[in-house]
Amino acid sequence: MSCPNVTACGGDVVGTWTVASSCLKLSGNVDIALAGLDPRSCTNVTIAGSLDVSGTWTANSNGTYTDGTVTSGDAQLQLPAGCLQISGTTTTCERISGPLAGGLGFASATCTDAADGGCTCAATVQHMGGVAWVTADPQTSGNYTTSSTTLTADSTTNYSYCVAGNQMTWTPQATGLTTTGTIVFQNGGTTGTSATGGTGGTSATGATSATGGNGATTGGNGATTGGNGVTTGGNGGTTRGTSATGDAGGTNVTGDAGRTSTSGATGGTSTTGGTSTTGNTGGTTGGSTSSTVMGPCDIYAATNPATPCVAAYSPVRVLNSKYTGPLYQVRKGGGAMNTGSGGTTMDIKATAAGFGDAAAQDAFCGTDTCTFSILYDQSGKGNNLKVAPAGCYNDGSANTPDYESSATKRSLTVNGHKVYALYTVAHEGYRNNATMGMPTGSASQGIYELADGKRIGNACCWDFGSAGTDNCNGSIMNTIFFGTGFWGKGAGNGPWFLGDFEGGVWAGGSGASTAVNNMNPTMNVDYAFGVLKTSAPTNYAIRTANGQSGGLTTAYDGVGPKQWNNKAGIILGIGGDNSNHSLGTFFEGAITAGRPSDATDAAVLQNVQTTGYGK
């Protein structure tokens, strides 16, 4: 069956439109770099399939939209043998399935060996938002523009379109493959017939014109009274203080917890709550000026011998009670694909309770596009992270500068406080090649990370840790990887915390990076906590836990595949050569000089758990 394209005519799209029918075909060559495969060896990947669209799409007169459509379908892909060559190692068709699905936006993909040494892959599409777009990041709301006969969503997704009476017809102008055919919408009280013969959607009234944004906004917190932060001994349990007054929106704030005991002896000294501060008055810095909340870096510094933080990042909360600077910086008006310039910026500090000042960010960003322009290092070393420059992996994506990540796509509640997380998609990542105090050579190192275990990438490489300083492949990396990929696997279907040491990603052991380690558990939880720590000459350990409850599991602790040769660069969300095809959500993490003990790992986990993620 042929699916002809729309005869584009433009027109007014404001209103709520219900899909009446769709006829869409997929064909052509796929941009395989989106899956993290090497386009120099993985060439001429063909696709054939069809898509169906149902649901509603609403355009508001203020240039925003809401996408309630569902796109579904099936496709078959043919991959040549060269697709199995990745970063100096050879993978299998079975292990390409996950990255292929995650990177290209399929709901699932099953790849089997083909007669020519390549792979035949059967894939399905099923997602809400992103009308008729095969994408790993479908959007259910955003901004749109129309120009002549083209409608553009979020500055990146184009459709040829025509509005005639109460009917609107689209043809997607896809990138990375060819999409032909049309989606037909109905408006103005007509009930459309679904493409599968079911009952059409109910007509809706047109979108209401939005009012303008607020005028002046108030600043951050006023004066607050802090919690008691009393710490008891034994396992280092804490007693929360009394609620504080003055928090934004009238929400009560619990007192700050005291220092957690790392040895099981008497708990640390109780701490007072945050100092009373005046609210932000609309300058370039939002939030309070100081906090006495005890965090992981306080725990690392208190061990004997100390394993101090040399890099620590979180847009969510304070990780070091001695740190008084901003947690992060946001950029407004720089565009959705910003490589680190333009617009206006604002530093976001912590409130007196120790959490990122979301109210100050909201007042600054309003309805504009806002991105994370700086993640400030809370260790005191000044190892701030900015958007990563181009790498030397020549795949059409990694060898171009990265984009800053959205500062507004993931909000959450932590102990009753609204905060924002770092929400990265493909082609986004952060780096610092000129650091201070980082372990070098074979010096011991520790890393912990808290990430979203329900939103994970399948390609290379969502890493956090130490890498080279030249944006290229080196002989060694020392980073924690989270997700699934082409190499090592743990138990179940993942995601897993793995060690990316360059030339492979290990779930444990010292042999081939493709080995399966059933002691490494799947971490499909809301808040996944992972530890990677290394010591000379080759030893490493991977430990994992639920960031809300329970204890640590040691996935591996033993000899590694390489001798460590740390180069002291820091990366987040990318591989050492800027391989930037994966995605994830980062809440907090730190790098230490020295390998922390297992007891210290447990104390840091307890500190994270008592913070109250998701509460």
In the chain, where are the structural domains located? 15-186, 248-547+560-611
Give me the helices (H) in 436-591, please.
none
Residue 577: active-site member: yes
> What is the per-residue pLDDT for 31?
78
Active-site choice (52, 357, 395, 502): 502
pLDDT in tens, 232-250: 333 333 333 333 333 333 3
Distance from the first to the final alpha carbon of the chain: 52
Task: Give the residues across from 544 on adjacent strands.
Answer: 530, 553
Residue 572 parent element (H or E): strand 569-572
Cβ pair 299, 262 in contact under 8 A: yes
Both tokens assigned to 263: 């040895």
DSSP string over 22-78: EEEEEESB--GGGGT--TTTS---EEEEEEEEEEEEEE-TTSEEEEEEEEEEEEEEE
Q: What is the predicted pLDDT for the residue at 287?
A: 53
Which is catalytic among the residues 577, 588, 598, 601? 577
Q: Find out if CATH 2.60.120.200 is the number for domain 248-547+560-611.
A: yes
Give the Cα separation of 216 and 211 in Å (integer). 15
Dist CA 32 CA 73 (whole Å): 19
Mean pLDDT, the chain, whole residue set: 84
Query: Which helix (H) or strand (E) element contains residue 467?
Result: strand 463-467
Structure token digits, residue 150? 């083209």
- For 422, the token pair is 């770092």
Kindly tell me if the per-residue pLDDT of 171 is higher than 50: yes
Task: Note if 94 is an active site residue.
Answer: no
Q: What is the pLDDT of residue 88?
A: 64
Can you read off the two tokens belonging to residue 599? 């007891």
Residues 393-420, mean pLDDT to the nearest whole number: 93
d(CA 192, CA 185): 8
Question: What would the mean pLDDT of 432-456 be, rounded to a whole number?
Answer: 97
Residue 417 neighbours by CB distance under 10 Å: 25
Query: pLDDT band at residue 393, thresholds of 50, 70 and 90?
Result: confident
d(CA 475, CA 498): 18
Exposure string of 425-456, with b = 16+ CB inside 10 Å and e = fewer, is: bbbbbbbbbebebbbeebbbbbbbbbbbbebb
537 prior amide bond cis, ω within 30: yes
The 10s digit of each residue's pLDDT in 327-343 is 999 999 987 789 999 99
Question: Which of the four pLDDT bands, split at 50, 70 and 90, describes residue 539?
Answer: very high
- pLDDT of the residue at 245: 34
Closest CA to 613 of 420, 424, 412: 412
- Supply angle C-alpha 539, 543, 546, rounded to 5: 170
Residue 148 has pLDDT above 50, yes or no: yes
Residue 489 DSSP SS3? strand
**Under a CB-based contact definition with an 8 Å cutoff, are residues 45 and 80 in contact?**
yes
pLDDT at residue number 246? 35
Q: DSSP secondary-structure letter at 248?
A: G
CA 526 and chain centroid, separation: 13
Pairing of strands 505-506, 496-500: antiparallel
Residue 394 has a pLDDT of 78
Looking at 128-132, 157-161, 236-240, 571-575, which range is the least confident one?
236-240
Is beta strand 478-483 parallel, antiparallel or unpaired with respect to 496-500? antiparallel
- Check residue 518 and give its pLDDT: 97
Number of Cβ atoms within 10 Å of the Cβ of 344: 12
pLDDT of residue 254: 36
What is the per-residue DSSP string for 67-136?
Answer: EEEEEEEEEEEEE-GGGGEETTEE--HHHHHHHHHHHHT-SEEEEEE-TTSSEEEEEEEEEESSTT---S
Give the lowest-confidence range in 236-245, 452-461, 487-496, 545-554. Answer: 236-245
